[in-house]
Amino acid sequence: MFNFDEIIERRTTRSIKWGLFAPDVLPMWVADMDFRVPAAIETALQERVSHGIFGYDFLFADLQERVCERMARLYQWKITPADVVLIPGLVVGFNVAARAVCQAGDGVLVQPPVYHPMLHVAGNQQLENHFAPLQKTQTGRILHYQVDLPAFAQAIRPNTRLFLLCHPHNPVGRIWNQSELHGMAEYCIQNNVIICSDEIHSELLLDGHTHTPLAALAPEIADQTITLIAPSKTFNIPGLDCGFAIIQNPTLRKRYEQAMAGLVPHVVGMGLTAGYAAFGTETDAWLKALLAYLSENARVVREFVEQRLPKANYTIPEATYLAWLDLSGYALDMPAAKFLLEKAKVGLNDGAMFGLGGEGFVRLNFGCPRAVLLEGLERIANAL
């Protein structure tokens, strides 16, 4: 019914993913899938284009209501339309959160290795980075990351004002369990630290895993949390710039909106159109099929690494379409991503860009047709 094996030429579309490297390089880096969007989104966009007029658009209440309906349907999380603030993307959302709750010299808590734009928020806003690195353990060649709660507590300083949480986590693929979530939230509440929870990968759940929004755990946690979501990763529409900040505390929401004023652009009409279609029920069958395909791709990566990359260690992602591979065992004379770009003609993310603990790693995007994935893996194995 859905052909995720279809190979679609993207080099002619100004694609960042496919246009960054030379034509002989297979790009498997940025979190952008190579799959056609659900028919409901494509139809909605075609209908909007056929209207022929592209004036100013604004957030209609029906889109806010649809976000509320989706949160209730997926997570039994009850929010109101007033809680939903429209943003053009989650990186914007991080930085607005910092502007809203921090003053120059305050600190932002992050958990490296982590999605690299989070590491730049402090510098963007004249703040300090406070680090609570993830705890890594290893069983055989399988890596597992968890939150070290005592270390997390110690990382909070008197001037820490904001915690940027990545849930599910990019790049390590963890879905934090309720014990970890409650523990982190408790320390933040005790120290009056606002939490900005990036939950953009919350629907990209592999092998039947489930996700719980942090703010859905308890009213006192919701009162101190800014939750960022978007249909962009799940439905492969990141170029349309449509996201949402869910803020249930009205005072915090007002501060957030004030921090946006005059700086953050409106979401354009095509983004609103795609977002509304994505969060409807007509995309459910496509998403179910996508998750099955991605789960199989994750298995393919895992088995290939086990059989063909004997010096590599790896995580088993619970969510996202991103593999986190430790290639430090190969003792390369240059960063692994640079080596594989030059020798394998495969474009990957260098692990060092994700901060402390990322050295020697690469991040590989397996959100692509299986034939492309296998070709990329073969190139990597042959080069190593």
Sign for the CA dihedral angle at 243, 245, 246, 250 comes to negative
The two tokens of residue 180 are: 């970890």
Q: What is the pLDDT of residue 58?
A: 78
Asked if domains 11-37+284-383 and 51-281 share a fold, the reply is no
Q: Which CATH code fits 11-37+284-383?
A: 3.90.1150.10
- Calculate ∠ Cα 120-327-169, nearest 5°: 40
The two tokens of residue 93 are: 């959302």
User: What CA–CA distance (Å, rounded) separates 95 from 259?
Assistant: 9
- Could you list the beta-strand ranges (E) of 63-221: 84-87, 107-110, 128-131, 135-139, 142-146, 160-166, 194-198
Q: Is a pLDDT exceeding 90 seen at residue 60?
A: no
Across 212-235, b (16+ Cβ under 10 Å) vs e yields bbbbbbeeebbbbbbbbbbbbbbb
Q: What is the pLDDT of residue 100?
A: 98
User: What CA–CA distance (Å, rounded) separates 188 from 153?
Assistant: 9
- Residues 135 and 149: beta-carbon distance below 8 Å: no
Q: What is the pLDDT of residue 1?
A: 84
Residue 126's SS3 state is coil
DSSP 8-class letter at 185? H
User: What CA–CA distance (Å, rounded) separates 131 from 270?
Assistant: 38
Options 3.40.47.10, 3.40.50.720, 3.40.640.10, 3.20.20.30; CATH of 51-281: 3.40.640.10
φ/ψ of residue 247, rounded to 5: -135, 105
Q: Is a pLDDT exceeding 90 seen at residue 59?
A: no
Q: Is a pLDDT exceeding 90 seen at residue 43?
A: yes
The two tokens of residue 239 are: 């170029």
**What does the pLDDT look like over 83-127, one tens digit per residue?**
999 999 999 999 999 999 999 999 999 999 999 999 999 999 999
Q: What is the pLDDT of residue 41?
A: 98
% of the chain at pLDDT higher than 70? 100
**Every domain of the chain and the residues it spans:** 11-37+284-383, 51-281
Q: Is a pLDDT exceeding 90 seen at residue 57?
A: no
**What does the pLDDT look like over 151-201, one tens digit per residue?**
999 999 999 999 999 999 999 999 999 999 999 999 999 999 999 999 999
Q: What is the pLDDT of residue 180?
A: 98
Given pLDDT bands bounded at 50, 70 and 90, which one contains residue 2?
very high
- Alpha helix ranges (H) inside 22-144: 39-51, 61-75, 90-101, 116-124
User: What CA–CA distance (Å, rounded) separates 300 from 177?
Assistant: 26
Given pLDDT bands bounded at 50, 70 and 90, which one contains residue 285?
very high
**What does the pLDDT look like over 288-343, one tens digit per residue?**
999 999 999 999 999 999 999 999 999 999 999 999 999 999 999 999 999 999 99
